[in-house]
Structure formats: structure tokens, C-alpha cells
Structure 1
């Protein structure tokens, strides 16, 4: 299916068919991306629970740095899809060129800053002893991933905006298989420990991004970068920043919130931080169908708004909600039904049984809010697709800073329920943020266009 055929499907095809056609590859792609961390976690957990805790402890820091890349990617999908919906292919190609150059420059800067400041960041977060030692090793190598991650974000954004969600999925699948093969080799065969896990991921992501950019430049896609006589275009950069900055702030605000959250969690001990990281990875895996629908909605909303079909956008929103709630309820049932088996699968080391106990407890609490997490993804999809990313920013930041963290503080200092207060706060914050998202949707501000199209 070429770009024109995908455009016709998105603008006039059956909505359920459009959602499933676009979201299925995204679901697989997101699942594959999640597998990067899951596979690392499973292999690292064979070393010890402290090694596993280190990978969970530093992840919010990495995500803080890549949040800008994600914001730029979201801006790219939104702006490019609206231009494609209006048939402005040449303009869309100009945007894609600016997008890629900006991403590469920023990512290289982040790599240098992150690599040099890694030990200070870990110390500031409260990491000590072996946890700090392992965290520093893993974090420094992970920062080397940045340029490759950002480049693939651009590839993903350009392809998704055109409705091509299959190509990124195939490439991610190959990269994930490579990562799965390399993990035990670097960790155990070469006896590199936790550094081996990070290096395996680095090699896999580097291969992924290099091949992705080569395919993009050689493809017959109507929208792709052209660097011949390249010059920075201030107007295009302003548009990307206008749409991308709120998303970046939202993502980075959430990352900072998780860093602060990890600071509170680590005060309960290594067992709690390991349980927290383990269950979050499990829920990320289960939530892939819902997140895939939300991501597909971004390009559906963008192209249909670009062509002036607001009613079709609303129809896509409602049908996406129905699909997502169904997927989420199924995931909730599976996690409650097989809680012990799931936790034991993902925590291979049994050197600290408290990790297992707390993991099961957290899994039960977070399971009941799975449908709300799915609804959250749909609201993100419609706000990001329309280019009104300030609303998705408010949802990201508000959920953590104005609901979750204050609740955790109240439970920590005014009750004696221990880590259970964290688990309750995580679930309740999803309810509050979905109520906010619904209120904003009903007001209809998201229908206003953020870019001039013919």
C-alpha cells in the first residue's frame, strides 16, 4: 500500500479498519521496544535483585533526556500528517528534513552531557553503595544510545504520518532479535555483567537506526528528507517547537516526577524499587494494544483534521475508546488471574523474596486501573494528533506532580501502610487525569488547526 492509498484509507475508509490497520504494527513495534528493557531486565535479574534494581533506578533519568526527542517525534507526526491530509507533500518533506537535523544535533549534545554527569545524577537521586555502582555503569553506556534513538524516532514519525506503520515494526523486530541474541553473550559469555546488557542494546539500536535511515532515503515514499542544499528554516523550526515543546515538557515533567518518585521509593529499600521497576515493565507490556491504538489515533486525527473532517475525528475517538477499554479489561483480568506466575517469570533471581511479595501486591493494585491507563492513551492520541500538545502535557505533568507525588507524601508521613501507599497513589492518579482529559475533550479546543494548510 503506497502513501496515496493509505491517505485514502485514513480519510474515507471504515474507521475500525483504519484503527486496526494502523495500530496493529504500532502495537507490535511498541511491544518490541518494551522487549529491549524486559530482556535486559530478565537477564540482569539472573545476576541479582540489586543489578535489576539498578536498571529500574536509572530509567527515568534516561527518559528525561529522550523526552525532547519524543516531543519532536510527536510534533513531526502531528504536523506531517496534517500536511499529508491536505496533500502538501513537498512542504511535508521540508519539515521532515528540519526534523531530522534538529534531532541529531540535540541527541549528540545530550549524549555528551549525560555521559559526563552520570555519577553526579545518581548521587543526587540518593543512590549509594552497589546500587550506585551498577546504576552508573548502566547509565553511562545507555547515554551512548541517544543519537540512534533520536534518529529512529524521526524515521518512525515520518513513516507513521504517512500511515506506514509496518516498516518501523519490521526493523524493530529484527533489532529486538539481535538484542535478545547479544544480551547473554555480552553479560555472561564475555563476563561483562550489567555493562553487557547496556552494550547489547547499544549495538542493536545503532544497527536499527542506520538501516532505518538508509531505507527511508532509498524508499519511494512521497515524504522523506532531502539534505541537498540544506538550510535551517526558522518558520518550520518554530512550528516544530510550538507543537513539540509542550510534549517534551510533558514527557520530561513526567520523567522528573519518576525521578522524584524513585527517590521516595528507594527510601523503602532496594526490594521496593526492584518491585516497582519490575511491575512497571510488566504493565508496559500488557498496555501495548491500548498504546498502539492511541498512537495510531495521532495520525488519523492529524490527516482528517488537515482535510477538514472533524466529525470523522470524533468517530475515530469513540471507536478507539471502545477498542482500548476492551483490551485493557482483558489485560486486567490476566494480571489478576496469573499474578504470581507473572512476577516469578520476570524476577528470575530469588535472592530477595521480599521483591516477589511486593511485586505481587503492586501488580494487584495497578491492574484495576488498566482501563484508565488505556483511556489516558486515547486522550493523548487526540490531543497530540490535533497539535494541541499542551493538553497532553498537562495530563502527563499533572498526573505525577499534582496527584501521585502529593498522595505518596501523605501516605508516607501520615500513615503506616508503607509501600502500599505508593501502589494506591499510582492507581488513583490515573482516574483523576482521565476525568481532566474528558473535560478538555468536551470543550472542543483541540479542533482548532495549529498549521496553515491549503
Structure 2
């Protein structure tokens, strides 16, 4: 399906088909990334537990960096999708070019500073001895290779804004396959140990990020960039930053919040943290359809608002909510029934089994709430009202979940169940907040100006 056909589908096609067509590749891409993480962990684990611990130690830092890049890219997607919907492709091209330039310059500066600071970061996180050496070596390479990560995010954002979710999925898959091939070569054949895993990641991302960007300049599919689009344009750049900054703040503070959350959970004991970790891995798999639908919804809302079709944008939100609920009810029912077997497969320790089973049953019954959360995020991001998305992203974790854990732990005598109840209640309250923001109708106002005639 070429650009014009995809745009016509988004603006005029049957909404169920639109959402499923766009979200399917995103779901598959998320699944591919999960396989990549598992494969990466497998090869590194052959080196020893210290190397695995080193990656786990610095992962929150890497996640924080990724959140910054994703936040800016979200701003690009919102603007490109709305300009695409209004059929103003030259403006969309300007946004795409500036997004690439900003991402490269920002990540290059940030990467150099981070690479030089890697030893101090690892030391501040408590790394010592071999753990310090391995974590520093891995983190330094990831930092220096940060432009490859940010350019990939930018490419994905550009294509998603245009309504193309298949191409990013393909390049993501190619990158993962190459990384899986390079991991054992760099780690064992070239004897680079944990640094080999980092080099494999950077090289596989860098190669396909370069190819992907090259295609933006050579193959016209909605937009075709030229070098003039890369020249810094202050007005366009400020527009991207204005829309993307709240998303960056929301994503990055959420990443930091999960670090703090883990510290609170650990205060209940290692068994609770283990049960939480296993439950979250399962939970993330079941949530993939809802996350894919939420991401696809951002494009559909953006393009239809750009085309001044507010009613169709509302229909997209309603359809997405229904589809997400169906997927999550089915997935939640399966997890509820098999919860004990699932936890036992990963960790048969009686205490972990008891807590993990209870957590999975509780969270599976409330999964539709997470679906609504993803729908509100997609709606606000696609409409460009990223401050609303920031409010519910930060509010769920910092304003509700962490304080509720503290309250339940100290005043309700709930023990480890404090964590599970705080998660459910925070999801419920923030969905009500999201519904309130949605009901104001402010998200229906597009953030682009009409093209001058």
C-alpha cells in the first residue's frame, strides 16, 4: 500500500481496518524488540552473572536516554501527521528534516558528554570491582553510539506520521537480526566480551538507520527530503521542541520514577521485587496489542485533525478503546487462569510463587485500565497536546503510585500487597483524570496552522 492509499484509508476507510492495519506492524515490532532483548541477555549471560548484572545496573540510564529521544520524536509524529492530513507535505518535509538534524546534533553532544561521564555515573549507582569495569565499558559505547539510536527514533516518527508503520517494523527487524548475528561474533570470536554486545548494538542500529534515512532522500513516498531540509530552521525547530518537550519530560521522569519504584518495592524484600519483575514481563507481553493500538491511534487522530475531521478522530478513539478492551479482556482471562503455572515456570520459590500469582491475578483483572491509559496517551500525543499526555504519564507514577505505596505500607498494614493495590488504584484514578481531560474537548484543536493560499 503506497502513501496515497494509506492516507486515503486513514481519512476515509473503515475505522476498525485502519486501526488494525496500522497497529499490527507496531505490535510485531514491539515483539521483535522483546526477542532482541532476550537474545542479547542470552549471549551476555554466557560470559557470567557479573556481565548480566552490569547491563541490568545501567539499563535504567539507557532507558532514560531512550525516553528523551522518544519524547522529541513524538512531537515530530504529531506535526507530520497533521500536516499530512491537511495535505501540506512541504511543511511535513520541513518538520522531518529538522527532526533529523536536531536528533543528530543533540544525541552527538549528549553522547560525548555521557561517554566521558560513564565511570562517574556507574560509580554513583554503586558499581565496584568487575561490575564497575563491565558496566562502564558497556555504557560508554552505548553513549558514544547514541546518534544511531536517536536517528532510528526520528525515522520511525517520520514514517509513522505519514501513516507508514510497516517500513519501521522491517528496518527494526533487520537491525535485530543483524544484532543477534553480530553478538556472538563480537563477544566470543573477537574476544570483546561485554563491549562486543555494545558494539553489535550500535553497529546494527547505525547501519540500518543510515539506510533508512538514505531512503527518505531518494525514494518519494509521501515526502522526499533534500539537503535544504536539514539546514537549521529556528522557527520549525522551536515548533518541534514546543510539542516534543512535554513528551520528553513525561517519558524521562517516568523512567526515573520506575527506578525509585523499584527501590520502594525492594523494601518489601527480594521476593516481592522478583514477583514484580516476572509479573511485569508477562504484563508487557499482554499489553503489546494495546500499546500498538495507542501508537497507531496517534497517527489516525493527527491526520484526521489535520484534515479538519474531528468526528472521525473521535471515532478513532472510540474504536481503539473497544479493540483494546477486547484484546486485554481475552489476554487477561488467559493470564488469570494460568497465573500460578506461569510464575512457577520462572521461579518456583514458594514466597515468589504466592506473591507473583496474586499479583498476576489482580493485574489481569484490571488490564482494561491500562488499555484506556494507552488510548488517552495516543489521543493526546497525536493531537499534539503533549502536556496532557505528560500530566497523566507523570501523575500516574509520581503523583499516585509511589505515594500510595508509602501510604498503604505505613498506614494500612497491607505488606507486599501495598504494591499491587497501589498499581491498580493509580491506574484507575489516572484513567479518570485522562477521561476528564479528554471530555474537555481541548485535544480536538489541531496544532498546525492552515496553509496559506
**TM-score relative to the length of structure 1:** 0.89
**1:374 corresponds to 2:367:** no
C-alpha separation in 1, matches of 2:381 and 2:155: 18
1:433 aligns with 2:430: yes
1:315 corresponds to: 315
Structure 1: give runs of 5+ residues left out of the alignment. none
Deviates more, 1:320-329 or 1:229-238: 229-238
Question: How many pairs does the alignment contain?
Answer: 451
Q: Which residue of 1 aligns with 2:263?
A: 263
Decide whether the 8 Å contact of 1:53 with 1:274 is kept in 2: no
Is residue 34 of structure 2 the alignment partner of residue 10 of structure 1? no
Quick one: structure 1 residues 435 and 262, their matched pair in 2 at CA, closer, same or farther if it must change by over 3 Å? same
Indicate conservation of the 8 Å contact 2:218/2:224, yes or no: no
Worse-superposed segment, 68-77 or 381-390: 68-77
Tell me the residue number matched to 1:388: 385
**Counterparts in 2 of 1:36-75, with a 5 A limit?**
36-44=36-44, 52=52, 54-75=54-75
State the 1:226 CA deviation: 2.0
Q: C-alpha deviations, 1:392-419, integer Å up to 9, x for none?
A: 0001100110111112223444566554
Quote the residue 1:79 is aligned against: 79
C-alpha separation between the residues in 2 aligned to 1:207 and 1:344?
41
CA contact (8 A) 1:290 1:377 kept: yes
1:213-264 alpha-carbon deviations (Å, 9 max, x no partner): 1222222223243213843212111211111011111111111211222333
Contact between 1:38 and 1:281, CA under 8 Å: does it hold in 2?
no
Shift in alpha-carbon separation, 1:366–1:115, aligned structure 2, 3 A: farther
Contact kept? 1:57, 1:262, Cα under 8 Å: no
Write out per-residue CA displacement over residues 83-105 of structure 1, whole angstroms, 9 at most, x where no aligned residue.
11111111111111111000011
**Aligned ranges for residues 265-304 of structure 1 at < 5 Å?**
265-267=265-267, 273=273, 275-304=275-304
8 Å contact kept, 2:98–2:229: no
CA drift at 1:308: 0.7
Is the 2:72–2:245 contact (alpha carbons within 8 Å) kept by the matching residues of 1? yes
Change (3 A) 1:334 1:240: same
Indicate the SS of the match to 1:449. Answer: coil
Aligned equivalents of 1:274 and 1:142: distance in 2? 27
Once the two structures are TM-superposed, the CA of residue 341 in structure 1 deviates from its matched residue by 5.1
1:76 and 1:157 in contact (8 A); partners too: yes
Q: In the TM superposition, what whole-angstrom CA distance separates every residue of 1:126-172 from its partner, at most 9, and x where no partner exists?
A: 56677666544443333344211111111111111111111111111
1:102 corresponding residue in structure 2: 102
CA RMSD of the aligned region, Å? 3.0
In structure 2, the CA distance between the partners of 1:149 and 1:138, relative to structure 1 (3 Å rule), is same
TM-score, with length taken from structure 2: 0.89
Asked whether the 8 Å contact 1:246–1:390 carries over to 2, the reply is yes
Q: Structure 2 vs 1, CA of residues 88 and 345 (structure 1 numbering), >3 Å: closer, same or farther?
A: farther
Cα deviation 1:266-313 (Å, max 9, x = unaligned): 555666555544443332232111111111111111111011110011
Q: Which runs of 5+ in 2 are unaligned?
A: none
Moved more, 216-225 or 238-247: 216-225
How far did residue 441 of structure 1 move? 0.7
Further displaced range: 107-116 or 149-158: 107-116
Q: What residue is the counterpart of 1:30 in the other structure?
A: 30
The equivalent of 2:114 in structure 1 is: 114
CA spacing shift, 1:241–1:403, aligned 2, 3 Å = same
Matched, 1:406 2:422: no
Change over 3 Å in CA distance of 1:165–1:340 after alignment to 2? same
Asked whether the equivalents of residues 125 and 259 of structure 1 are also in contact (C-alpha less than 8 Å), the reply is no
| Residues 1:180 and 1:278: Cα distance change in structure 2 (over 3 Å) | farther
Matched with 1:329 is 329
Q: Residue 81 of structure 2 contacts residue 302 of structure 2 at CA under 8 Å; is this kept in 1?
A: yes
More deviation, 28-37/178-187: 178-187
